[in-house]
Chains A and B, each alone.
Chain A
Amino acid sequence: MREVYVAGIGITSFTRLEYPLVEIAAYPGLMALRDSGIKKVDQLYVANMGSGRINGQTGLASAVVDHLSLTPAGAVTIENGPASGASAIKEGFLAVASGMHEVVMVIGAERMREVNALEATDFVATLTHPLAEYIYGVTLPSLAGMFARLYMEKYGVTSRHLAMVAVKNHHNAMDNFFAHLHEEITIAGILDSPEASTNNPFVADPLRFYDVCPVSDGGACLILASADAMKKIRKPMIRLAGIGQATDTHAVHERKDPTDLLAVREAATQSFAMANVQPGDVDVAELHDAFTILEIAESEEVGFFKKGEGHCALEKGETKIGGKLPINPSGGLKAKGHPVGATGVGQAHEIVLQLRGEAKKRQVENARIGFTCNFGGFGNNVVCLTFIKEK
């Protein structure tokens, strides 16, 4: 396989966007073309989860490739639940690594705010098992609630730890112009004060409002290129060095231990092995904190911390910017936002910024190795990426 590098990046704000989905996809594409200084790509991949259902538009990639005037480049839409973004990056990687293409564009885009929050939640819930979960009223927050309940009981994680994840990620997002939520929060405000239960009501007990990511619109883009193509592109050599993907049972109840995220463990192991690095080598990571508990659980499953000790590292401030291993410097899904199909590409965008040293106030110093975990379903389809900055 050939080596694959990131030639250009682009992103929109993750927020409520009042323009059509095809433009939400096209703008980060335009930014990435400008960033890389190239005008043509061989192939376009568009990651999106819900355009057919919530925006009434199918064949999204065909619309986007035309909007960017990149025809006759090949174009394909990739739907893989909330892991669509990193799944599309994997496909882009394979196309370049195989030698089939020199330069490909990977876009993730989603416009969820076209419908109300309940409809958006119901749309995401359609990824649960139709007969064994969905018909009971199971939504993603309820799966996360059941997961959190057992996790907290088993490992001594408390509501305070969950709130600490939210406080950290909201704080990080304050320095991210493109983040959905620019709102500094405190433990007192969301947990301890008399107003806390009003500020921060239960969503899926024991998870509260501030344990859950917002429903966002947004798009992000990565242009991937071969080493040959990079010679003409004057950009830092950020190599997509490792990719892992793994699946788990569709219905969560079928897992031997429902607090294990085996697909996360497997995908991370594959990704680190391919990149030839250890979890301890990672300088900065973006984990899929659609719910605060997931940042803690994933930080253990990918191998940063021992099982049951993720919350201790959080408590000690190791995952803050400036700590031993900063997690979610972008604000994470919790505060940066979660436009489902775009999220995996958004995570990679942040890692590339960090490795290039372009993350401004939220820059992690001397970051050389970056990692992302894009978590689809409730852990039934997970893609992990490892990026390395070369000299």
Chain B
Amino acid sequence: MELNIYGYKCRRCGHLHYPYKTICKKCGENDHNEFDIVPLPKKGKLLTYTTLYNPPSDYEVVTLSLGIVELEGGSRITGQLNIKNPKIGMKVAGKVEIVRNDEYKKHLGMVFYPA
């Protein structure tokens, strides 16, 4: 089964939110708080990125690359990068993988590779 990260689409105006909100940011719909849960696209372009040289202590890595990606359709997501020489504007494709492994839980999130 293919793993996904899910966005929340307002049933009234269709605006896609990620992450989840209680009230739609675009139309302010607050009568019934209804969103359709839809998988986020996985392809997009890299908006910006950084390499962290002192990642949080539960990461057993020396450096950690992070980026903001604009996904097809216009929604955006923050994710980890597995890209050797990232460049602003490059095309990337995401996979859902374990992004943090703390003492309680393995967290799943989007990791981007060159498309």
Contact = CB atoms under 8 A, between A and B. Distances in A.
Contacts of A125: 56
Sorting the interface of chain B by its residue count into under 10, 10 to 19, 20 to 34 or 35 or more gives 20 to 34
Interface residues of A, number: 37
Main secondary structure of the interface of A (DSSP, over half): helix
B4 interface: no
A118 B55 CA distance: 8
Contacts of A201: 53
Contact of A121 (B54, B64, B77): B54
Interface in B13-57: 18-20, 25, 47-57
Nearest to A208: B53
A206 B53 CA distance: 11
Interface string A205-246: 111000000000000000000000000000000000000000
Contacts of A137: 52, 55-56, 59, 64, 66, 80, 99-100
Contact of B66 (A121, A132, A142): A142
A368 B68 CA distance: 42
Contacts of B79: 136
B53 A146 contact: no
Interface string A103-138: 000000000000001110110010001011101111
A258 B78 contact: no
B88 interface: yes
A203 interface: yes
Nearest to B80: A136
Of the candidates A129, A139, A142, A153, the one having the most CB atoms from chain B within 10 angstroms of its own CB is: A142
Contact of A136 (B48, B49, B99): B99
Contacts of B18: 132, 254
Nearest to B61: A137
Interface in A186-208: 201-207
A172 B22 CA distance: 46
Main secondary structure of the interface of B (DSSP, over half): strand
B61 to A, nearest CB: 9
B9 interface: no
A254 B76 contact: yes
B54 to A, nearest CB: 7
Given A135-B99, A150-B88, A141 B56 contact: no
Contacts of B56: 118, 121-122, 125, 137, 139
Contacts of A205: 50-51, 53
B84 interface: no
Contacts of B66: 136-138, 142, 145-146
A383 interface: no
B51 A132 contact: no
Contacts of B88: 149-150, 153
Contacts of B114: none
Contacts of B55: 137, 139
B52 A204 contact: yes
A129 B50 contact: no
A251 interface: yes
A146 B91 CA distance: 17
Contacts of B53: 201-205
Given A150-B88, A258-B48, A138 B54 contact: no
Given A136-B99, A149-B50, A122 B77 contact: no
A34 interface: no
B68 A252 contact: yes
A368 to B, nearest CB: 40
Interface string B50-90: 11111111010000101110000000111110000000100
Given A132-B77, A132-B78, A136-B66, A149 B52 contact: no
A2 interface: no
Given A205-B53, A258-B47, A146 B107 contact: no
Contacts of A45: none
A218 to B, nearest CB: 23
A27 interface: no
Given A146-B49, A205-B51, A253-B47, 4 more contacts: A135-B100, A139-B55, A142-B64, A150-B47
16 contacts: A118-B54, A125-B56, A133-B78, A135-B99, A137-B56, A137-B59, A137-B64, A142-B52, A148-B50, A149-B88, A153-B88, A202-B51, A204-B53, A205-B50, A253-B78, A258-B48
Among all A-B residue pairs, the 10 with the closest Cβ atoms: A145-B50, A150-B48, A132-B19, A135-B107, A253-B76, A205-B51, A146-B48, A253-B68, A204-B50, A253-B78
